[in-house]
Amino acid sequence: MASLQAQEIRPYHHGDLSRALIQAGRRILEMGGPAALSLRAVAREAGVSPAAPYHHFKDKCELLEAIAKEGWMELTSAIAKARARAPDARAALTNIGVAYVCFARDNPALYRTMYDGACDRATMPDHAKKGDSGWRHVREALLEAGADPAEERDLELATIAAWCAAHGVAEMAGFKEFEPLKNALGGEEPFVRAVLEHVGIFAAMSRPKTPG
Amino acid sequence: MASLQAQEIRPYHHGDLSRALIQAGRRILEMGGPAALSLRAVAREAGVSPAAPYHHFKDKCELLEAIAKEGWMELTSAIAKARARAPDARAALTNIGVAYVCFARDNPALYRTMYDGACDRATMPDHAKKGDSGWRHVREALLEAGADPAEERDLELATIAAWCAAHGVAEMAGFKEFEPLKNALGGEEPFVRAVLEHVGIFAAMSRPKTPG
DNA sequence: GCACCTATGTGAACGGTGTCAAGATAATCT
DNA sequence: AGATTATCTTGACACCGTTCACATAGGTGC
């Protein structure tokens, strides 16, 4: 019944428990999904009593947010890398979308945790909009692909649209119904790419302006 | 501390407890969100002991699925109505999208419950694909809007894309960051319509075929 | 070195949860 | 009517989030 780590005799004070708790939480998330992520389980996994986390996080919710924050930062860096690797501006947007969906596929429980927090507060996390953020990468990719910088409203609408589409695909791409099509297209990534390109904003950037 | 209903002296046997439990569950969902939806709370709300639900649902999960099923049926009928009301085939698709997002906005907790179940099983619910389903409505709307019936693969990709986009918008349209834009566009529904139209598949049905 | 303060850990406890087994009660079938 | 079956209740179990009082360790001023 030993915990998976931290079995070396730990000193009474841990040293960096908040960090250890976040890592333990992510480990549990990967192994057992969001349902397995109880505060007590995290404490157990970190080799610490159930009350210890309360000296570092006021809430279970606050720990979840710390875990989610890590996820957002990693998602941002995946987006940045995908954009940097693109051969041209038009490809960048699709690359970002594919990277986004792949991140969600590779870290499903983490991704759910990230968005659950966002939905509960009805807010994008800070890291998605400010500074070096995924949001900004999408916006800039749209501009480089030919969006009119003078039409701020259209640009914001397009950014929202792209983000929403990627999120939708991210949450649904794993559904079993799509397996035949996935196989027909030669795997998961081509499938995701094809869906994203059908969504439109990723492929049809240069269509005539929307009326309005 | 009285329960909200069922205070008339109920006979020992309820009569139609499973139905009452589903209704109680929906009431709790509306008032307190998904977090408030415990099996015991549902039993309390229905005026029944905590173990009673187990004679009708093997699990908490099974009750949630029953609640979600109701949600899917109502969503389907909202989609059907929206499609029927559209002046022409092209408008039908956008109308469906708007109806979808509005349903999610008006029943946020129910919508979350519906999709949580789907995500856990990595499957669309039966009612979304078979028979008179939202899925089929989208597919038919795409065909009527000019999709090539011979290109089955493209049609399925487009259906997936439209559904994913609507889902993404549904989950994010309530975010606070978008309020300024919402106001600028004259309210929630115009905002949703604009985002959906920017997503592309809803407006750019007639663009040239995708390569591949 | 020593007393003290603060940060960080432990243990036990509270009410809440999902679930189950055993028993009570009512409807139904013969 | 008696027996069977479906339904509901009571009571228990382990787990959960959270809080409290207390124990321990690291650091600071003397």
Indicate whether A5 pLDDT > 50.
no
**Which residues between 13 and 32 in chain B have a beta carbon less than 8 angstroms from any beta carbon of chain A?**
none
Beta bridge partners of A200: B200
pLDDT averaged over every residue in chain B: 87
Nearest-CA residue to the C1' of D26?
A13
Distance of CA A81 to the CA centre of its chain: 14
What is the per-residue pLDDT for A53? 97
Partner residues linked to B200 by β-bridges:
A200
| pLDDT for position B25 | 98
Residue of B60, B160, B188, B207 for testing the chain A interface, max A β-carbons within 10 Å: B160
Confidence tier at B17 by pLDDT (50, 70, 90)? very high
The span from the CA of B17 to the CA of A130, in Å, is: 51
Interchain pair B161, A200: CB under 8 A: yes
Q: Is the CB of residue B158 less than 8 Å away from at least one CB of chain A?
A: yes
Of A117-126, A159-168, B156-165, B187-196, which range is least confident?
A117-126
CA atoms within 13 A on the CB side of A94: 22
Cβ contact B163–A157 (<8 Å): no
Question: What integer best gives the mean pLDDT of chain A?
Answer: 88
Q: For residues A7 and A155, what is the distance between their CA atoms, to the nearest angstrom?
A: 53
Which pLDDT belongs to residue A11?
Answer: 63
The pLDDT, as a whole number, for residue A206 is 34
Neighbouring C-beta atoms of residue A51, cutoff 10 Å: 10
Spell A82-117 as b/e; 16+ CB within 10 A means b: bbeebeebbbbbbbbbbbbbbbbeebbbbbbbbbbb
| B chain contacts of residue A164, beta-carbon cutoff 8 Å | 165, 168-169, 171-173, 195, 199
Which pLDDT score is estimated for A13? 65
pLDDT of residue B174: 94
Which pLDDT does position B194 carry in this prediction? 93
Nearest CA in chain B to A200: B200
Residues in chain B: 212
Residue nearest the C1' of D23 (CA based)? A12
Angle of helix B188-199 relative to helix A152-172, nearest 10 degrees? 70
Distance CA A77, CA A105 (A): 16
Nearest CA in chain A to B204: A200
pLDDT class of B206 with cuts at 50, 70, 90: very low
Show residues of chain A in contact with B204, CB under 8 Å.
Answer: 200, 204, 207
Tell me how close the Cα of B192 comes to any Cα of chain A, in angstroms: 10
pLDDT tens for B141-171 read 999 988 899 999 999 999 999 999 999 999 9
Amino acid at B8: E
Distance of CA B110 to the CA centre of its chain: 7
**CB within 8 A of A72, min separation 6: which ones?**
A114, A125, A127, A128, A134
Tens of pLDDT, residues B72-99: 999 999 999 999 999 988 889 999 999 9
Question: Angle between the B152-172 and B188-199 helix axes, to the nearest 10 degrees?
Answer: 150
Set out the domains of chain B in order of their start, with CATH numbers: 17-55 (1.10.10), 61-199 (1.10.357)
- Give the residue-averaged pLDDT of B31-56: 97
Can you tell me the mean pLDDT for A176-181? Answer: 94
Q: Do A160 and B198 touch (CB under 8 A)?
A: yes
Is B59 in CB contact (< 8 Å) with chain A? Answer: no
CB proximity list for B122: less than 8 A, separation 6 or greater: A174, A175, A176
Cβ separation B172–A160 shorter than 8 A: yes
The predicted-structure confidence for A183-207, as pLDDT tens digits, reads as follows 999 999 999 999 998 887 765 543 4
For residues B75 and B67, what is the distance between their CA atoms, to the nearest angstrom?
Answer: 13
Instruction: Report the pLDDT value the prediction gives residue A98, as an integer from 0 to 100.
Output: 95
